Structure 1
Amino acid sequence: MSLSNASRVSRSPLQNASHTKWYSVALVAPALAAIVFLFAVPLIRSVVTAFIDADGGWTLENISRAVEFYGRDVVFTIVIAVLSLAVIAAISIAIAGYLTLGSTPWAVAALRWLYRWPLFIPFIVAGQTARSFLARNGLMNSMLMEAGLLEPVAAQSFLDWRGLVMTFAWKQVPFVTLLLAGAMASLDRATIESARNLGANRLRCLFEIVLPQVRPTLFVGLILSLVTIMSVLSVPMMIIAGTPNMMTTMMAHRVTYYGDYAVANALGLFSYLLTALVAWFYLRSTLEKEAGK
């Protein structure tokens, strides 16, 4: 027996467990450090800065100024987020449902190939594309006028809240659909086939059998989409030039033109609270469901 083998054999199980523990810590240390220094530390710093005045004392003045200056923008952001999530949910359910229950092979194959393309397009490109497509003299109105479906005098710009909702939905629908379609594909087809044999149509199967089983996956996709919508800066800056606008745009405006990080961070607290509230609701409903099993 060699010396190295002998030393390996002579180690106790406790020593082996200790070495394994240190190896595990070393493996996760880089990722943990990235999370701490790139996410946790900036988050804590931004929250603390929102409650500190110019002299370093604690104050609520930054919060009151954020509400006074940007209250309409907070409400506007919430409305845009809710409308976008509703559109995303409706279209994602329709696409994923047809991919799962559709009876036309070529249509299912074409839809499966087409719906994923926005996943690979950055938000800044999506914003610029929407700006060119939805403008008064943009591609959409030009196509409608060429088809005789729209008079030139009736053309209008969609570079407002409607453009934001359409752009966010177009960008996030493939992501949520991908999650939903995967969850639906993993379901037991026997229950669906049984319902079909008993006379249930595909729409009833979707809403009464398939959708209740994949509802947690839908909630996860919508929560992640909400976080994305609340954090995107390029799309609202490109589509809406005035006010009200999304909170991300107003925070960037406050920092760029005034150098006021305190009010900008105070405005960011509303984003934290909104996403935290939605995440808390989802976790609570999930835990209640698990406890009821």
Structure 2
Amino acid sequence: MRKEVKQAIAGLIMVSPSFLLLLIIVVIPIVQSLISSLGNDSGGYDLSRYQFLFTDKGMRSNIIFTIKVTLLSCALVLLVSYSMALYIRFSSGKLVDWIRKTYMIPLFIPGVIATYGLMNLLGNHGWLARLLMPLGIVLPRIIFDEKGIIIANLWFNIPFATMLLSSALAGIPASIIESARDMGAGKLRIFLRFIFPLSYKTFLVALTFVFMGVIGSFTAPFLLGANSPQMLGVSMQQVFGVFQEREQAAAMAFFTFLLCSVLGFFYIRSMAKEEAANG
């Protein structure tokens, strides 16, 4: 047997556990959800479940609300995280050291506990409202609508995104920045020409993880969101657990998967183009 064939067989053996795990945990449930979502009340198969997603007013509102909250959360998370990562990378002092030591703390707080803390902090009768009451300041409604969900998403995702982006920025050689400054390039030009292109791959990874986490979230939308409209995760749970409509819940799950696949497609295509350029 040739050496190349042996290496190919060894490679297949090494990746087979990961492939089997992916097949069992991801691929098979997706296929089962698709088949289940195509079932109708008469025992046949059609697209009536998906048609309901776009013709029912409540479902359509949930989809629009989910996309809106997800996009706003991603934009704010990446804006704050990138700004924080830039500050940590290119600044120094006690404040930078303090941020570097503390920004990871939210990652170690369970989501339910963090959500409960936000409810006690920002609720109409929370301790922030009680502190402001003697000053004659009435705290506006912050949680139990889309603002509460977005605030929770910021809490959950900023530390992780900052960690990824900080690692990418730390890998940019200081000589590149110094050479650009010596050539007279300003801060904005250095960022657009050097810093962002060199950290774009990690930025896309952070965007992908934040998008997937927000669009499929349940705890914060369930506890901090309004009764209507709802995030798809909360609506899916009600359709499946309360109304016992298994096929409709499967259609919602597969539709959520398709939304995630759109971003996944752009991510894979971007990585493929980069690999082709490097090759």
TM-score, structure 2 length as denominator? 0.87
Identity of aligned residues (%): 25
Q: Which has the larger radius of gyration?
A: 1
Within a 5 Å distance, the mapping from 1:56-95 to structure 2 comes to: 56-67=43-54, 68=56, 69-95=58-84
Evaluate the alpha carbon distance shift between residue 155 and residue 230 of structure 1 in structure 2; reply closer, same or farther with a 3 A threshold.
closer
CA distance in structure 1 between the partners assigned to 2:73 and 2:201 by the alignment: 19
The equivalent position to 1:41 in structure 2, one of 18, 24, 28, is 28
After TM superposition, give the deviation of residue 291 of structure 1 in Å: 4.3
Residue 124 of structure 1: aligned partner: 112
> Could you tell me how far apart the structure 1 residues matched to 2:140 and 2:65 are?
25
Q: Give the paired residue count.
A: 276
In 2, Cα distance between the equivalents of 1:28 and 1:110?
A: 42
Residues 233, 193 of structure 1: alpha-carbon distance in 2 compared, 3 angstrom cutoff = same
Distance 1:106 1:154, change over 3 A: closer
Residue 224 of structure 1: how far off its partner (Å): 1.1
**Matches of residues 121-270 of structure 1 in structure 2 within 5 Å?**
121-145=109-133, 148=135, 151-197=136-182, 202=187, 205-270=190-255
Q: Which amino acid aligns with 2:201?
A: P
Equivalent position amino acid for 1:129 in 2: G
- 1:101–1:202 Cα contact (<8 Å) kept: no
By how many angstroms is 1:230 displaced?
A: 1.7
Query: Structure 1 stretch 219-228 or stretch 134-143: which is displaced more?
Result: 134-143
TM superposition shift of 1:52 = 1.3
In structure 2, stretches of 5+ residues that fail to align are none
Unaligned runs of 5+ in 1: 1-12
SS in 2 for 1:57: coil
What whole-Å deviation, never above 9, does each CA across 1:3-59 have from its counterpart, x for those lacking one?
xxxxxxxxxx669x769947972x555443332222211111011111112443211
Partner letter of residue 163 of structure 1?
Answer: G
TM-score (norm 1): 0.84
Kindly report the root-mean-square deviation, in angstroms, between the aligned alpha carbons of the 2 structures: 2.7
How far does residue 183 in structure 1 lie from its aligned partner after superposition? Answer: 0.7
